[in-house]
Amino acid sequence: MPLRHNAAEPAATDRTFQVDLRGLVDLLSHHLYSSPRVYLRELMQNAVDALTARHAIEPAGDFGIRLYADGATVRVEDDGVGLTEADVHTFLATIGRSSKRADQVAEQRADFIGQFGIGLLSCFLVADEIHVVSRSARTPDAPAVEWRGRGDGSYTVRTLPTSARPRPGTTVTLTPRADADEWTRPTQVHALARHFGSLLRHPVTFHDGSGGAAVPVNPEAAPWSGTYPTPGARSRALAAYGEEVFGFTPLDTIELDLPAVGLKGIACVLPEAVPAGRRHGHRVHVKGMLLSEQAEEILPEWAFFVRCVVDAESLRPTASREALYEDDTLAAVRDALAERLREWIARAAASDPELLGRFLQAHHLAVKSLAVHDDEILRMLLPWLPFETTAGHCTLDEFARTHRTVLVTSSVEEFRQVAAIASAAGLGVVNGGYTYDRQLVHRLPEIRPEVTVADLDPATLTAHLDPVDRETELAAAAYLAQARDALAVFDCDVALRTFQPASAPALLVDSREARHERTRSQLAREQEGGLWGDILGALRQEAPRAQLILNQLNPLVRTAVAIAEPELARTSAEALYGQAAMLSRRPLRPAESSLINRSFLDLLAHALRKDS
């Protein structure tokens, strides 16, 4: 049954929340804004929006922004649309309400940078009082209005006398606290103004109170907006701007232009490789105002070989206005910019092989990550990407010219085990142990149909090693039996073959999968009878054992297989196994490290006894 209130109970009373302004400012400083320096950006942002509204009613007006900082105060003046007394009561006295939501400018909201109506509060990060004087441009006879807001949440509003009638616009004055000097001294205010407003479309000037001339904050338009006598001059200007912004000389610059969202800018190709997956922050301006220097979300993860600086009209900032709001527009922009980077790679591949070579030398891993998922890039660049092979580091195109059958390992350690032997045997092997490499090598036949690609397994390699003659095999049978017995603890078989180079006494062929299977079998034996043992036993598969292949061409091996003394034969087999395990460069198990130490000491003791 629904609950019913007792008629005798008093009716509930609606109340409004009481806001602790100091607590709210503390929340903003610690959780919304990254630094107190954003106060100047918010003031400039409000000024730019006011100018935008002024231009809507006076399109031909010559309006601007003036910044003043003399060490005692910070002042921002604009020739914007201004506020009436009613506007001041409505918008400056209510936290969270923005004058940009007013009916008069609602239809132009997309033209404004700020959207959240809390920017003025950021001034309390550096000052205890905000002084605003504003006069509306909408009403010619409107008087000027003064508003003083204090950090304790109180404020006063008064209409100034008719004699004090400034031109339309708004002036915001701050008297900084002593602990805010880092952000409010003249040199810092000028630097912050340049940092945030260098691409603003309205003229901005700075005065330091010394009596000198005003200094332009944004004297030049964005370099991509300029006209140049030649394409080369334009390219050099964009590269110089990229170097100024990012501190490195770009390998190349890529112009970015998305008219649908009003985005223009450049992507600077890094001249050196960066660790895989490291995503650089990009500089994003919205309507000229710097939004973020660390906007990772503007490009896909694979594009870590560039850093971008862009200016956009239609991207939405988050509440802090220091990052981009993730929505369908941002997703579409990210996809479109990714396509621009693909087009640049395609142009370099088609018309500038020297540039492509330098790019791939530095960023082949980024291109490999892209080629895995992008068939067009795969077809275009796979033959040119460098890989580690038995012929050294070379492209797949070069490697496929001499090896119609390409074998690929599944790990780096397997490649290192077999590289020298496979090369001597004439096998073409590619190291597939690095990120993306095995996947890409297996797709080579899509580009070169005449090439066959297969995984390299121990059986394939062993089949290419020459067997010894029957008499030699019989003569070595006793030694091989003792060696197998000594190495049984490692589930390792022993065989005698001939292969190049003759300087290699032994080859340990052991796949990662086989080692995992042996480890699982060992666990099953240890857990025999329990539930876990039954599960591991059910999972057990037949897997090839490790193989220690001794090289009959090596003088040391020929001497070893002739040893008649059982203990010395076992020790020599253990030493050959240990040496082959170390040459494979895989991590040694504790038992293998112990065997290597023990066999070395036993052989040393035998040599000393023999000499004495």
Q: Which pLDDT does position 501 carry in this prediction?
A: 84
Tokens 């110089």 found at: 240
28 DSSP 8-state letter: I
| Measured distance CA(602)–CA(230) in Å, rounded | 78
What pLDDT digit, counting tens, does each position of 239-292 carry?
A: 999 999 999 999 999 999 999 999 999 999 999 987 655 667 899 999 899 988
Q: Which pLDDT does position 308 carry in this prediction?
A: 95
| Measured distance CA(232)–CA(110) in Å, rounded | 36
Tokens 């950021």 found at: 122
How many helices (H) and strands (E) the chain has is answered by 21, 22
What is the residue type of 251? L
| Measured distance CA(599)–CA(166) in Å, rounded | 96
Among residues 472, 371, 379, 457, the alpha carbon closest in space to that of 414 is found at: 457
What pLDDT digit, counting tens, does each position of 308-323 carry?
A: 999 998 888 776 667 7
349 close to 384: Cβ distance less than 8 angstroms: yes
What is the residue type of 192? L
How big, in percent rounded to 5, are the helix, strand and coil portions of the chain? 45, 20, 35
Q: Which pLDDT does position 571 carry in this prediction?
A: 92
**Token output for 72:** 């005692």
The SS3 of residue 76 is: strand
Q: Which pLDDT does position 276 carry in this prediction?
A: 59
Asked if residue 10 has a cis previous peptide bond (ω within 30° of 0), the answer is no
Among residues 243, 58, 301, 264, the alpha carbon closest in space to that of 167 is found at: 58
Q: Which run of H or E residues covers position 354?
A: helix 353-373
pLDDT averages per 10-residue partition of the chain, 612 residues: 51 55 59 78 91 91 93 94 85 56 42 52 87 89 88 84 80 92 94 94 91 89 92 94 94 95 95 73 91 88 90 81 82 93 89 90 86 84 88 90 90 82 85 90 91 82 83 92 90 89 85 57 53 50 73 92 91 91 80 88 82 60
Tokens 């190349």 found at: 252
Report residue 431: phi and psi, to 5°: -75, 110
**Token output for 294:** 């660390």
The SS3 of residue 446 is: helix
Among residues 419, 437, 439, 440, the alpha carbon closest in space to that of 429 is found at: 419
In degrees, rounded to 5, the angle at the alpha carbon of residue 360 between the alpha carbons of residues 358 and 364 is 150
Q: Which pLDDT does position 110 carry in this prediction?
A: 47
DSSP string, 367-396: HHHHHHH-HHHHHHHGGGSEEEETTEEEEH
In degrees, rounded to 5, the angle at the alpha carbon of residue 379 between the alpha carbons of residues 378 and 384 is 80
In degrees, rounded to 5, the angle at the alpha carbon of residue 165 between the alpha carbons of residues 161 and 168 is 135
Q: Which run of H or E residues covers position 215?
A: strand 215-216
Among residues 228, 126, 107, the alpha carbon closest in space to that of 172 is found at: 126
| Measured distance CA(458)–CA(422) in Å, rounded | 11
Among residues 375, 505, 494, 512, the alpha carbon closest in space to that of 439 is found at: 375
Q: Which pLDDT does position 93 carry in this prediction?
A: 61
170 close to 65: Cβ distance less than 8 angstroms: no
CA distances from 236 to 222, 350, 362, 423 (A): 14, 22, 21, 47
Q: Which pLDDT does position 304 carry in this prediction?
A: 85
Residue 351, C-beta contacts closer than 8 angstroms, at least 6 positions apart: none
| Measured distance CA(316)–CA(298) in Å, rounded | 12
Tokens 């330091």 found at: 208
| Measured distance CA(139)–CA(168) in Å, rounded | 9
Q: Which pLDDT does position 292 carry in this prediction?
A: 87
**Token output for 61:** 């007006």
Q: Which pLDDT does position 6 carry in this prediction?
A: 55
Range list of H helices, 390-508: 396-402, 412-424, 437-441, 444-447, 458-463, 470-475, 477-486
- For residue 494, the cross-strand partners are 548
- b or e along 521-547 (b: 16 or more beta carbons within 10 Å of the residue's beta carbon)? beebeeeeeeeeeeebeeeeeebbbbb
